[in-house]
């Protein structure tokens, strides 16, 4: 999986350490086997419009995005053994539970995917 950074259109961070899952196997695996996500971590599943939490051991925030990165729906604190989806979504960002509230991510926001090195270059 490739590492990327997700930012709002204004440059404010949404997910500093995000894995990009674009193959069927990487999307299927997702976060399975992990004990949790740290603050600033996440995984972007694309293409995807639904997710399941079967066999997961922790809750997450799920952010459903359209093809332009516009937030269509935010499902906060999605617990294990649940399913969530959104008509029209082309990708799903999975973040630690409570992260959407912390970064104030809401429906209508636009998220931009950048290579991970773009954030490092900006910090230098």
What are the tens digits of pLDDT across the range 4-16? 999 998 999 999 9
ω into residue 47 within 30 of 0, thus cis?
Answer: yes
What are the tens digits of pLDDT across the range 50-75? 999 999 999 999 999 999 999 999 99
The answer to whether the beta carbons of residues 48 and 89 sit under 8 Å apart is yes
- Superfamily the domain 2-123 falls into: Protein of unknown function DUF192 (2.60.120.1140)
Parallel/antiparallel/unpaired status of strands 83-85 and 50-52 = antiparallel
What pTM did the predictor assign? 0.90
**Domain segments of the chain as ranges:** 2-123
Task: Tell which phi-psi region holds residue 60, choosing left (phi > 0), alpha (psi between -120 and 50) or beta.
Answer: beta
Residue 79 gets which letter from DSSP?
P
Query: Which two tokens mark 39?
Result: 């603050």
Mean pLDDT for 82-111 is 97
């Amino acid at each position: 999986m490739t590492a990327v950074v997700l930012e709002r259109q204004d440059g404010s961070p949404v997910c500093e350490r995000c894995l990009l899952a674009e193959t069927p196997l990487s999307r299927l695996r997702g976060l399975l086997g992990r004990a949790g996500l740290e603050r600033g971590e996440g995984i972007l599943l694309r293409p995807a419009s639904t997710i399941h939490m079967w066999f997961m051991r922790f809750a997450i925030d799920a952010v459903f995005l359209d093809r332009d990165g516009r937030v269509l729906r935010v499902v906060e604190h999605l617990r294990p053994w649940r399913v969530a989806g959104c008509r029209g979504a082309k990708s799903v960002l999975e973040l630690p539970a409570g992260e959407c509230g912390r970064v104030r991510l809401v429906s209508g926001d636009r998220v931009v995917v950048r290579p991970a090195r773009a954030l490092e270059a900006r910090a230098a």
